[in-house]
């Protein structure tokens, strides 16, 4: 029997499903019945769930089942240092899914083996919030291809060792979804899948305790539907109708949608806005206990049907507040979570030149169990929200409202001699709570100094861009670059000419990929020729040193300079020291690691980890083998 035949035989063994199913059955039934204990048909719905997940397992192809078996045997496969991520919009990068399949050589050149494809499921043009208003979870946006094209791309990526991450919008559907259309037409069964009300009495009770997400562009949490004379809950935008998870049909159908996508070859399911999915009167409708029950149910279902698939939770809170979404070692929930607070704190540090808050955030992450795996990034498709630790910042006389104004002024170029060039999103003069948009390169100063023809300024901004990426690569977890950052793409102001985009300044950093600039990546005298090779080198160094594994302990140490951050990582094989200067002046990190010579892995020089002189906006990566 050949190895291929043997693997296929193992994948087709029906006992594999039965063993997984029996392992989780009791807890699955308990949690499901507890969640829907007031529903008289709870057991009917539970049996439907059990029967249908078996069908999805049977429909899963042998290649995916073999991948599941391999990852079951190696449960920490995603915790190692060899995962390098990139997130992108397919239409911006390659126009179509077929075009993406033709660009995989470039992605492999970028060391990418974790490809996060931003929302690409069917959504209405101009009313999609960047694809986050899904009209059909089983079809792809027409302009980029078909679901068959998507499955072919995932299979091709898998053949090259590239994992695929896809957003799964759990909280709501588009108003163009079939359920929403039938609800709008008056079908009670489908209205019960959302939150429909004849009068504003109950919505008013929700509004009394439920904060607004977008008070400027989408005020309130409900939308009046004049055609059917009803109010519907819309936490985000009026065209995104919140799903009612009090209805077990909703949970079941959304689980089936998740499994359908997993069977198309998705390796990482990004659970979008997961803290919002359970609504309860008298609460803020955020992070309720039932949310964790639902995520735990989804984790168990995935462990039964497709255990090689990871759940990535989008939970926009401080690291110590998001930790519950990992669950417990005995009853895990998400495999990974976004590290949004460290991202925001990084840009706060860029503006203030003071590492105190950033160091505090890193120390909090370091205090969490090493099983907590974060996805780290500098920029993503979304805005930068200034959800910082203001209780801590008040010790430095930084009050929330004026400090947010300072940060936004700095990065929009209003602050004197600021190098940042961005735009505000959801600017609310009343609340003074605007968020920030812009590419990494533009926020670092490459745009400003390039426009001014200041070559020294551009070089310094490139150095800062590289330093910020070096810092991100040395954090604990999986690093993810936003597509275009590797070639220093600047803000794309053309969105202002597009009627479907002009009202959403986040398109400032969602511009089409500049393939003309990518051609410069091997020309040393260009921005791309300086930035691209440096990031490749950082990635290769990271992949070649086990000290960057996600489960390796790390901590910060004093540099005795408020602008210099020092991170230490150490395992049984080696010790790493990362030193980062967030100031426009040369600085000295007054560290005194008296344990021998270290290798500066960027230059190949040996040096002591004592009194290290760090250039303006520069860094050192020092490694000592044991």
Q: Token digits for 525?
A: 């005298």
Contact 44, 52 (CB under 8 A): no
293, 34 in Cβ contact below 8 A?
yes
Q: CA-CA distance, 624 to 375, in Å (whole number)?
A: 26
Tokens of 135: 């009209």
Q: Which residues are CB-contacts of 174 (< 8 A; sequence separation ≥ 6)?
A: 123, 124, 127, 128, 133, 134, 135, 180, 239, 240, 241
CA distances from 30 to 37, 57, 322, 488, 568 (A): 10, 22, 25, 51, 44
Q: Is the dihedral of CA 112, 116, 122, 127 positive or negative?
A: negative
488 three-state secondary structure: coil
Report the number of secondary-structure helices (H) and strands (E) in the chain. 23, 23
Q: Which two tokens stand for residue 443?
A: 């926020």
Computed on alpha carbons and rounded to an integer, the radius of gyration of the chain in Å comes to 25
Element (H, E) at 8: helix 3-11
Q: Which two tokens stand for residue 193?
A: 């899948």
| Whole-number Å distance between alpha carbons of 397 and 407 | 15
Helix, strand or coil, per DSSP, at residue 238: coil
Residue 211: other Cβ atoms inside 10 A: 11
- SS3 of the chain: helix, strand, coil, percent, to 5: 45, 20, 35
Q: Which residues contact 395 (CB under 8 A, 6 or more apart)?
A: none
CA–CA separation, 424 vs 504, rounded Å? 10
Confirm if 335 and 306 have CB atoms less than 8 A apart: no
The span from the CA of 133 to the CA of 241, in Å, is 9
User: Which tokens is 27 given?
Assistant: 């807890």
Q: CA-to-CA distance for 381 and 88, rounded, in angstroms?
A: 8
| 3-class secondary structure, 324 | helix
Q: DSSP readout, 161-191?
A: T-EEEEEEE-SEEETTSHHHHHHHTT-HHHH
Question: What is the rounded CA–CA span in Å between residue 589 and residue 574?
Answer: 21
**DSSP codes, 421-476:** --EEES--TTTT--EEE--HHHHHTHHHHHHHT-HHHHHHHHHHHHHHHHHHHTSS
Residues 459, 444 contacting (CB under 8 angstroms): no
407, 410, 443, 561 from 418: Cα distances, Å: 10, 6, 10, 22
The catalytic residues are 272, 314
């Amino acid at each position: 029997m050949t190895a291929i035949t043997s693997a296929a035989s193992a994948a087709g063994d029906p006992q594999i499903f039965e063993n997984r199913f029996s392992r989780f059955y009791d807890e699955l039934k308990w949690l499901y019945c507890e969640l829907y204990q007031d529903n008289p048909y709870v057991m009917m719905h539970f049996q439907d769930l059990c029967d249908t997940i078996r069908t999805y397992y049977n429909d899963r192809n042998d290649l995916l089942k073999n991948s599941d078996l391999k990852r079951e045997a190696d449960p920490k496969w995603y915790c190692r240092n060899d995962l390098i991520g990139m997130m992108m919009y397919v239409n911006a990068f390659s126009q179509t899914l077929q075009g993406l399949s033709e660009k995989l050589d470039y992605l492999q050149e970028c060391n990418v083996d974790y490809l996060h494809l931003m929302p690409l499921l069917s959504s209405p043009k101009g009313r999609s919030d960047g694809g986050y208003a899904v009209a059909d979870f089983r079809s792809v946006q027409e302009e980029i291809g078909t679901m068959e094209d998507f499955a072919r791309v995932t299979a091709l990526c898998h053949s090259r060792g590239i994992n695929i991450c896809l957003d799964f919008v759990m909280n709501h559907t588009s108003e163009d979804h079939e359920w929403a259309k039938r609800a709008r037409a008056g079908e009670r069964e489908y209205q019960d899948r959302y939150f429909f009300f004849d009068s504003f009495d109950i919505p008013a009770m929700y509004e009394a305790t439920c904060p607004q997400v977008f008070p400027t562009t989408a005020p309130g949490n409900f939308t009046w539907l004049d055609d059917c004379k009803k109010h519907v809950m819309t936490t985000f935008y009026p065209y995104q109708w919140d799903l009612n998870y009090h209805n077990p049909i909703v949970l079941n159908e959304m689980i089936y949608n998740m499994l359908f996508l997993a069977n198309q070859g998705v390796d990482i399911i990004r659970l979008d806005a997961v803290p919002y999915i359970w609504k309860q009167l008298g609460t803020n409708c955020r992070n309720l206990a039932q949310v964790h029950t639902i995520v735990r149910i989804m984790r168990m279902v995935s462990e039964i049907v497709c255990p090689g698939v990871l759940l990535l939770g989008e939970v926009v809170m401080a690291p110590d507040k998001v930790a519950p979404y990992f669950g417990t070692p005995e009853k895990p929930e998400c495999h990974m979570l976004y590290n949004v607070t460290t991202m925001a704190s990084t840009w706060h540090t860029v503006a203030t030149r003071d590492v105190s808050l950033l160091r505090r955030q890193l120390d909090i992450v370091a205090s969490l169990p090493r099983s907590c795996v974060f996805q780290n990034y500098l920029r993503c498709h979304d805005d930068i929200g200034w959800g910082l630790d203001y209780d801590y910042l008040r010790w430095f006389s930084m009050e929330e409202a004026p400090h947010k104004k300072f940060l936004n002024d700095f990065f929009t170029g209003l602050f004197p001699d600021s190098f940042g060039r961005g735009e505000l999103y959801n600017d609310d003069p009343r609340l003074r709570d605007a968020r920030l948009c812009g590419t990494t390169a533009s926020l670092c100063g490459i745009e400003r100094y390039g426009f001014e023809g200041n070559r020294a300024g551009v070089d310094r901004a490139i150095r800062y861009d590289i330093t910020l990426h070096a810092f991100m690569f040395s954090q604990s977890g999986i690093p993810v670059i936003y597509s275009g950052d590797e070639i220093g793409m600047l803000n794309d102001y053309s969105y202002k000419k597009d009627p479907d985009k002009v009202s959403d300044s986040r398109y400032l950093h969602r511009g089409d990929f500049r393939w003309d600039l990518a051609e410069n990546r091997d020309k040393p005298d260009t921005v791309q020729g300086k930035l691209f090779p440096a990031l490749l080198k950082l990635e290769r160094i990271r992949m070649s040193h086990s000290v960057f594994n996600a489960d390796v302990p790390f901590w910060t140490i004093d540099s005795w300079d408020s602008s210099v951050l020092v991170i230490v990582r150490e395992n049984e094989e080696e010790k790493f020291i990362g030193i980062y200067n967030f100031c426009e002046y040369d600085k000295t990190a007054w560290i005194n690691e008296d344990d021998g010579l270290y290798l500066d892995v960027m230059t190949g020089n040996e040096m002591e980890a004592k009194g290290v002189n760090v250039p303006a906006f520069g860094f050192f990566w020092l490694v000592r083998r044991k």
